[in-house]
Structure 1
Amino acid sequence: MRKSLIVLLSLLLIVILGFGTYRTIASKDEKHYSQHDVKGLITEKYRGKIQSVEHIGESYVAQFQNESGIYKAIINSEDGEVTDLVQIKSSGKTSLTETEIKDIALKQATGDISDIKLHEDKKNPYYDIEVTGKEKKVQMKIAKMDGELLSKEEYKLETNEIEQEGKDSEKSSIINKKKAEEIALIKFKGKVKETDLGEEDGLLQYEIEIEDSSGQEAEVYINAYTGTIIRFELDKDD
């Protein structure tokens, strides 16, 4: 009886230890990034074309190329974190200019850029941008390297903020036709066909008609005082 009990306990202990070892191995396998995962991460995060991926110790060393040049990235094989990023060769254009970043921001939100700050993060430098429109503010993070939109949050303006913006607009002189057309062309690339200055609902505004290379037409309505895009309309084919 005693021998049977000892044998039973021994078998139970072996089962418990074996199950624990299996769980540990399974847990590690679940967390471990494969070469396929690393390639997907690089392609999504940096829009790069993979040249090589090598597994060394606890990390992957990946070399890739994008519009800015050739890079080497060190990626933690456990959690996929990029621990280091080094540019090996430049393509001649290491990053986007502030003007290009502003253009990207104004395609994402209607209004004026009220604040812009550069954060020189070693792994992925980015701009913090705030665009203030007629009734809301939009805060964005845009990657300096390739212009990727990293985040975007919208906030509705309080009544007093809207009123203040209106008062400021009334005190300002109107922007000229050329400036209004430049703003409109940032929103919709093409050729300006017609620009009219008139008043609608008590507000002086530019109505600018644009046609792109494919024949698609659009109208951009711009506050003549602030340069804020009030409305954007794409013409639909009949």
Structure 2
Amino acid sequence: MNSIWKNRLLMGVVVAIAIIVVVSFFRPAQAFMGEEEVRQLVVDQYGGEILSFTETEEFGQTVYQIQLATDRNQYEVMVDPYTGDILSLSLSSGNIEVDHDNSKDRVDENLLTHSEIRNILQSELGEEATILELQLTEQDGVSVYDVLFRQGQAEGEVTIHAQTGEILFYAVHDETRHAPVQPKQLIGEEEAIRIALSHVEGVVDDIDLEEENGRLFYEIEIELTSEDSEADVLIDAITGEVIAIIWED
């Protein structure tokens, strides 16, 4: 009797496995989303105009590769054909990763390009500074670029306002130990101008962030209101200390 029940139980297990295999075999594969649906999804999320739409392979995975043009820039968008998820979005002129949280309409902002960010970095830190990684993010509702760069044997990080090009944050890594030193939060151009005008009365003509011997400082040109001359005020970009005031006739 026990043998009969064991045989029946074994037969039931075999049949169940066979049913699962058959159902899995004949179940249709997950279908790709249609081209029109994906086009509409991308335009709704980022705006602009789609220039090309192709199906390709990326790291062994089938993806939709889309060229998207806005008023200012051209982007390459990679989309998962099954789910419609945006896998990546990068400027065609350079590798810029985009934080997709709250990203709608952000590609239409008047953002600086990869080459413009590189020029700003080299202007402030020297021609040897090269971009290793560039990521577009958002801080306090403002679009910024987080830039990882190499300068000589050292690496560092800067945060740059994505529209004005102002450097908001600067940190460099120790060259010998390859460990990060204390990050340096800059006082910002507005605070530097306020400090300068508290020492020299006039109208600000120009402001630049400079670096000398590892020290960052703002150089502020002020046209004096009392006489026909100018003054350059040098202010430490980290502490706000007035380094020097240079009077020019």
Q: Same fold (TM over 0.5)?
A: no
Return the structure number with greater helix share.
1
Relative contact order higher in (CA < 8 Å, ≥ 6 apart):
1
TM-score range, shorter chain: 0.3 to 0.5
TM-score (norm 1): 0.34
